[in-house]
């Protein structure tokens, strides 16, 4: 039912480049608290850093779906959203397994530091990529 109703009101005014500021802000919410969180020893800054990082991660997930809806036609949208969902499912399935292996074989901080290069690379290369 959802796949039928989401196509009833496609975005009319959105442009592929209109989400650049929101995407950059979300990425910064994901990266900056991560760096602060993993360098601090006390638990309270770590907890606040994780909360801010969760806001950034949740907004990046939502923005990726919004951008996909903006750049695809209603006919292409189910395939594109299926591919995106498959990627998210892979992360949800393998992330805890990789995290558990890091937690048992190394310290918990390695779980955190492994997450910094990927968003950092996307943040550096993101402004140079144009969709249209």
The total of other beta-carbon atoms located within 10 Å of residue 119's CB is: 19
For 34-43, 44-53, 64-73, 91-100, which range has the lowest pLDDT when averaged over its residues?
A: 34-43
Handedness of CA 96, 120, 27, 40 (dihedral sign): positive
By percentage, how much of the chain surpasses pLDDT 90?
A: 4
Greatest pairwise CA separation for the chain in angstroms: 51
The CA-to-CA distance between both ends of the chain, in Å, stands at: 31
pLDDT per residue as tens digits for the range 55-102:
766 777 788 888 888 888 889 889 988 998 898 899 889 988 887 887
pLDDT at 4: 44
pLDDT tier at 6, thresholds 50, 70, 90: very low
0.75 exceeded by pTM: no
Q: Which two tokens stand for residue 72?
A: 């695809």
Cβ density class 24-45: b for 16+ within 10 Å, e for less: eebbebbbebbeebbeeeeeee
Mean pLDDT of 99-122: 73
């Amino acid at each position: 039912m959802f796949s039928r109703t989401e196509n009833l009101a496609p975005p009319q005014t959105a442009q592929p480049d209109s989400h650049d500021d929101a995407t950059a802000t979300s990425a910064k919410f994901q990266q900056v608290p991560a760096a602060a969180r993993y360098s601090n020893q006390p638990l309270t800054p770590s907890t606040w850093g994780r909360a801010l990082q969760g806001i950034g991660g949740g907004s990046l997930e939502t923005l990726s779906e919004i951008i996909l809806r903006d750049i695809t036609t209603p006919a292409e949208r189910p395939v594109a959203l299926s591919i995106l969902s498959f990627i998210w499912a892979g992360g949800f399935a393998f992330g805890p397994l990789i995290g558990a292996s890091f937690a048992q074989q190394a310290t918990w901080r390695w779980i955190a530091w492994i997450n910094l290069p990927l968003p950092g690379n996307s943040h550096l290369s993101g402004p140079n990529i144009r969709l249209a």
